[in-house]
Amino acid sequence: MATLILNRVENETIALHLRLQLEDIRELECQLEGDALDGSPSDFRAALDAYKRELTTHLGLESDRAMALSISQAVRLDTPIINSHLEEEERATRDHQLALSLRDPRAEALPAARLLEAPPAVELTGSAPVADEPESAAEDSQKALVVYEAPKFKCICCGTTSAPNGGLRSPCAHEYCRDCLVQLFELALKDDSIFPPRCCRSIIPLDLSREFIGPDLAGRFLAKKLEMETPNRTYCHDPRCARFIPPQFVKADVGTCVSCGKKTCALCKAASHRTSDCPNDPRTKQLLALAEKKGWRQCNNCKKMVELTYGCLHMVCRCGAEFCYRCGLEWRTCSCA
């Protein structure tokens, strides 16, 4: 009973964890709807949808497991009641046979146990002895069933043996237990040099590993796969975050971090320049070279180009900033005038 309660608590905890992750995905989809996720299907959307399907599948499995535990608990609780009814029925049968024998002593009384006896089971073992006395249903079942023990395999990492359904057989025929396989995927997520996970130089497919590594790790694997397949990757400029910014969240050379919301320049990988152009932009470099050749000056506030055709050095930009046309400094802070 204690084991059932613990399993039920564990099942509820896992189900809650899966529901919270699904809520996070739905919230992310709502925030990005009509912006980064519109248009044709993208790698990021495919990864997000795959992660969502993984979570939904595992949530269904946990629901089935909870139902199985509930049925098992009900059977355990109802067994004494069922046994009590069977005993009463057997007692009534014996009383009936006794009454018949008293009425007609010549009638051969049928043993009560034979009246309640189940139909003979097909003997699968071929060696089950015939008992003189009736046995319980559980003992009968154990004798009638053929027990087949599936071959176990040995994990190549830790050397432990387990049932075939407790681990994975890689394309190179090496076998991994669940714990070692999870550890292999976790290490691959932290070290780009060993991503994706391999064994004997053969990639271990995610499709073979899903049921062993769980939806959370599978989702992180898909996100890492998208990151590794993206050329000229952009990461959040904030060192406290430094999360990968998928290409779908980079617009006009400015990437928006999905985690913290900060904006990063996709050209120089520093913080977004907001109103100004990135100095590493080839087009900006061409414009600055032309401005130097023509003698133009940039506004020290909005960085727009200003050309002086006549008049004094005192410039008033459309943004309201005032600066010296000769040196570019704020007006009345230099000695040019």
Write the DSSP assignment of 287-332 as a string of letters: HHHHHHHHT-EE-TTT--EE---SS-SEEE-TTS-EEETTT-PBTT
pLDDT digits (tens, 9 = 90+) for 30-75: 766 655 444 545 667 777 777 778 778 877 777 777 777 677 666 6
Mean local confidence (pLDDT), 71-94: 73
pLDDT of residue 4: 46
Mean local confidence (pLDDT), 9-21: 72
Residues in the chain: 337
pTM, rounded to two decimals: 0.46
Mean local confidence (pLDDT), 215-221: 90
- 43-103 and 2-32 are packed helices; what angle lies between their axes, rounded to 10 degrees? 150
Whether residue 267 contacts residue 253, with contact meaning beta carbons closer than 8 Å, is answered with yes
Mean local confidence (pLDDT), 119-148: 45
pLDDT of residue 9: 55
Whether residue 245 contacts residue 236, with contact meaning beta carbons closer than 8 Å, is answered with yes
- Residue carrying the six token digits 């049925």: 71
- Residue 336, SS3 per DSSP: coil
Q: How far apart are CA 1 and CA 79, in angstroms?
A: 13
DSSP H or E segment with residue 322: strand 322-324
Q: How far apart are CA 84 and CA 245, in angstroms?
A: 66
Range with lowest mean pLDDT among 11-20, 124-133, 228-237, 276-285: 124-133
Q: Which two tokens stand for residue 87?
A: 């005993």
pLDDT digits (tens, 9 = 90+) for 292-316: 888 888 888 767 788 888 888 899 8
pLDDT digits (tens, 9 = 90+) for 226-261: 888 888 889 999 989 999 999 889 998 899 998 899
Q: Which two tokens stand for residue 65?
A: 């497991």
Q: How far apart are CA 286 and CA 302, in angstroms?
A: 18
More confident residue, 205 or 276: 205
Q: How far apart are CA 214 and CA 53, in angstroms?
A: 12
Contacts of 101 (CB under 8 A, 6+ apart): 107, 109
pLDDT level of residue 197 (50, 70, 90 thresholds): very high
Which letter does DSSP use for residue 20 in this model?
Answer: H
Task: Annotate 220-288 with DSSP letters as a single string.
Answer: HHHHHHHHHT-SS-EE-S-TTT--EE-GGGEETTEEE-TTT--EEETTTSSB--TTSPPTT-HHHHHHH
pLDDT of residue 34: 55
29: β partners: none
- 2-32 and 206-228 are packed helices; what angle lies between their axes, rounded to 10 degrees? 30
- Interior angle at CA 270, CA 265 and CA 274, nearest 5: 50
